[in-house]
Structure 1
Amino acid sequence: MDPILVFCLPAIGDFIRCHSAIRVIAEKFPGHPIDLITSPVAAPLARLMPHVRTAWVLEKGYLQLGLGKRIQLARRLREQNYRACYLLSSSTKAALVPWLACIRERIGYPRELQFGLINRLPAGWLKSLMAFGPRKTRLFEQVCAIAMMGEKPVDGMRLPPPQMVISPEELSAWRVRHGIDAARPVLALYTSEFSNFRSWPAERFISVAADHARRGWSVWIVGGPREREAAAQIRAALPEAVDFTSTPQITDAMCQIAASTVFLGVDGGIAHAAAALGGRCVLIFGSNRSYETGPVNDQVRYVEPPISTPSWIEDTRDVSEERVLQALADAVAQTRPQGV
C-alpha cells in the first residue's frame, strides 16, 4: 500500500500533540505505512508512537527557509511514492517540501496563501483563513481537523489523545543499566526554569521533594539544559535527589518518566511526553492555560490557581503546596493505567 507522509510541528510538545492526527489518519487508512517529517529534537520520539513507520529529519532548516535542505529532503521523499502529505504545519516553508517531492495530494490549510503548494483543502478552509485573532480550538483539535479533512466530529465522538509506548523489555533494560530498584517508588520532577512564569516556586518543589524523600521515595529531576540550574538548586537542598537533566538521549528521558511512580511537572513539552506515556501525572498550570495548552490525556490531574484568580494572571504562585501534595496522593491512589 502507498505510504502516507505527515509534516509535523518541530517543538516536542507540539510534535507529541500531532500524534492525535496520526491516529485519525491510521484509522482512516488501515494498513498504509505512515511516515513523519519533524525536527532533529523531536524525531527520536517517533519510534515510540504507534502507527508510525519512520521519521524524516529536516536538518537545521525547519524554522528557517533552508531551501537547500528542503530540496535534498524532497529528492529522497520522491523515491518513496507517497500518496499524500498532511501538512499539520501551516507554513509555506513546510508546504515546499511535498511540492518539491511531487507528492500528488498535499493537504492542509492555506493560512499563508500557499495555493498550489497545497492542492487539497479541508472543508471550512475559507472560514479558517478568515478567522482573525486567537483561535478557539486547541492545537490537537486543529491537527485532527486537517486529518479529518475539515469534517466535524459526530456527536459523542472523542478525538484520540496522543500516545507513546515504551516496551516492558526496554524499560527493564534501562532499569538494569542504571541500577534502579523497581520496588522503590519514584517522584519525577519537571520544573522548567524557575525564572519561567510557567514554573512553580523553587522552595515549594524542594518541600514536596523532601516530603517524599522522608517517606522513602526516590526523587528524580528530569528535563534538559533549561532545567539544570533548577536541578542544582534542588540538589543543594536535597542531595539524595537524582539529576537526570544531562541525559544525552531524549528516549532515555522517556524511560525515566515511564519508570517513575508519579510525574509532577509544569507546562512544557516534557509534560506532554509524560501524559502521552500514560503514567500518573500531576501538572501545575497557570490560570486557564490547561485547556488551551495542556495535555488531553485522561489520567492527567491539573492543579491551577483558584477560579477567582483573574485569567490574565498566568503564573502559578497561587497554587499551594498542600493542593499539590493532595493531588499527588490522589494520583498514586488511582489504578495504574494498563500497559504502563
Structure 2
Amino acid sequence: MKRALIVAPSWIGDTIMAQPLFARLHAKYPGLQLDALAPRWVAPVLHRMAEIGEVIDSPFGHGQLSLKARWRLARQLAEGGYDAVYVLPNSLKSALTPFLAGIPQRIGFIGESRYGLINVRHRLDKAALPLMVERFAQLAEAPGAALPKPIAYPKIRSTAADQQKTLDELDLERPARIVAFCPGAEYGPAKRWPAAHFAALARKLAADGYAIWLFGSAKDHAVAEEISQLAPGLCHNLCGTTSLAQAVDLLALTDLVVCNDSGLMHVAAALDRPLVTLYGSSSPGFTPPLSDQADILSLNLDCSPCFKRECPLGHFDCLNKLSPEQVLAASLKRIAA
C-alpha cells in the first residue's frame, strides 16, 4: 500500500485516540502517504501528528447528508489515487463518499447497514476491545486477527517555535508556573465540575505562585468568566480567544492541567502534560486520558456513571461533592511526581 486515506471522527478527543492507528499503518507500510478527511474543527490536531500528510476539509455538519456535495468531494478524492481508506466513524454517511470515490479497499467496522460501502469489514467485539483506542488500532489488522498489544499512547507535537509563535500572536508573557483549567464539556452540564469549585482551586494554586489559564471554546467563555469573577484577578480567561492550534501550544507550556472529561483532556494527555481529570456522569472505561501522567478523580457514586447530559436526579452530586480540597491534593501530588 502506497497511499491511504483516513476518514476522521468528528470529535477532537476521538481523533487523538486514532493516532496510534496511524502510527501502526506507517510501521506496517513503510513510505506510506497517509492523508485525512476531517471536519475543519478537528483538522488542527491532525496537523500536529507526524503521521498525517494532507488534511482534506470535510464540509459536512453532524447529520448532514448533502448528496451533491458528497459527490463533488468524492470526485476530488478519486484524483488522489488512494489504495485504501480507513473509515473511523460508524455512520453510513461517513462511508458514502469513499465509496463514491471508488477507493478499492474501504476498511471499517460494520455499522448502520453499510455492507456495500465497506468491503474490508470488521465486526466489533466490545468485550475484547473495551477502549476506543483499541477499536481504532484494530483496523490496522486483518478482520478477525488479534490486536497486538500494548498500544502506544497517542502523541501530538508542539515545538518550542510553535509555542513562541503562539505567545507572540496572543501577546502573552510566559509565566514561571502555569496551571490550566479546562472547565467546559461539550456533552453537557453533568460533565462539568462547578465553577465555584474551580475558583476555590484557583485561589489555592495562585497562593502557591501559579498563574491560572482557562481554556475552552467560545461556548465555555461564560463559565470561565464566572470562575474568573469568583477568583478575582487570578485567572486569565482564554476561552474563545484562541484557535485549537494555539490552545495546543499553550497547553504544552503548562505545569498541570485540571479538566473535565472533554476533548482538551485528550489534547493534554497527548502532549504528556501532568493531568488531573474529573469524572461525573461519564466513565473513564471507554475513553480515559491515555498518559502515564494522568490521574482520574471520580466519587463512583451509586448513581454514576449515568451518561446523561443533565443530572436525572437534579443534584449533580457526582461533581458537586468532589471537593476542591480533593482536587488540590491530587494536583499537588501530580505536580510533584
Pairwise CA distance, 1:232 = 1.1
Alignment of 1:1-340 (within 5 A): 2-61=2-61, 63-122=63-122, 125=123, 137-150=130-143, 151-154=145-148, 157-182=149-174, 184-192=176-184, 196-240=189-233, 241-286=235-280, 289-305=283-299, 307=300, 309-312=302-305, 315-334=318-337
> Are residues 248 and 70 of structure 1, via their aligned partners in 2, closer, same or farther at CA, if it must alter by over 3 Å?
farther
Is the 1:163–1:277 Cα contact (8 Å) retained in structure 2? Answer: yes
Q: Which string of whole-angstrom CA distances, capped at 9 and with x for unpartnered residues, describes residues 142-184 of structure 1?
A: 1111222342234xx2112221101111112223444544451
Between the two proteins, what is the percent identity of the paired residues? 26
Any idea what the Cα deviations from partners look like across 1:65-104, whole Å, max 9, x if unmatched? 1212211111111111111001111221111111111111
Number of paired residues? Answer: 324
Identify if the C-alpha distance between structure 1 residues 27 and 136 changes in structure 2 by more than 3 Å, giving closer, same or farther.
Answer: closer
- The alpha-carbon deviation at position 188 of structure 1 amounts to 0.6
Give how far 1:308 is off. 6.2
- Partners of 2:175 and 2:114 lie apart in 1 by 55
Distance 1:225 1:179 in 2: 19
1:187 Cα deviation after fit: 0.9
Q: 1:135 and 1:232, CA in 2 relative to 1: closer, same or farther beyond 3 A?
A: farther
Shift of 1:208: 0.5
Give, in whole Å, the separation in 1 of the partners of 2:15 and 2:23. Answer: 13
Alpha carbons of 1:178 and 1:312: their partners in 2 closer, same or farther (altered >3 Å)?
A: closer
Q: Distance in 1 between matches of 2:80 and 2:62?
A: 21
Check conservation: 2:190, 2:281, Cα contact below 8 A. no
**2:185, 2:35 → 1: CA distance?**
33
2: distance between equivalents of 1:159 and 1:193? Answer: 27
Question: Structure 1 residues 97 and 206 mapped into 2: Cα distance closer, same or farther (>3 Å)?
Answer: same
**Is the contact made by 1:37 and 1:57 (CA closer than 8 Å) also made in structure 2?**
yes
TM-score of the two chains, using structure 1 as the length reference: 0.88
Range that drifts further, 108-117 or 81-90: 108-117
Mapped partners of 1:116, 1:193: distance in 2: 36
CA-to-aligned-CA distance 1:82-139 (integer Å, 9 cap, x gap): 11001111221111111111111111122222222111123xx2x65xx8xx996222
TM-score, reference length from structure 2: 0.88
CA contact (8 A) 1:24 1:148 kept: no
- Measured on the aligned residues, the alpha-carbon RMSD in Å equals 2.3
Q: 1:230 and 1:21, CA in 2 relative to 1: closer, same or farther beyond 3 A?
A: same
Q: CA deviation at 1:191?
A: 0.8
Q: Which amino acid aligns with 2:286?
A: E
Contact 2:261 2:282 (8 Å CA) reproduced? no
Q: SS of the residue aligned with 2:106? A: strand
Aligned twin of 2:314: none
- The 2-side partners of 1:15 and 1:178 are apart by 26
Check the 8 A contact 1:3/1:32 in 2, yes or no.
Answer: yes
The 8 Å contact of residues 259 and 277 in structure 2, kept in 1 or not, is answered as: yes
Look up the equivalent residue of 2:207 and give its one-letter code.
R
Shift of 1:318: 3.2
2:206 counterpart letter in structure 1: A
Where 2:157 maps in the other structure, the secondary structure is: coil
Letter in 2 for 1:318: K
- Structure 2 unaligned regions, length at least 5: 308-317
Residue identity matched to 2:321: D
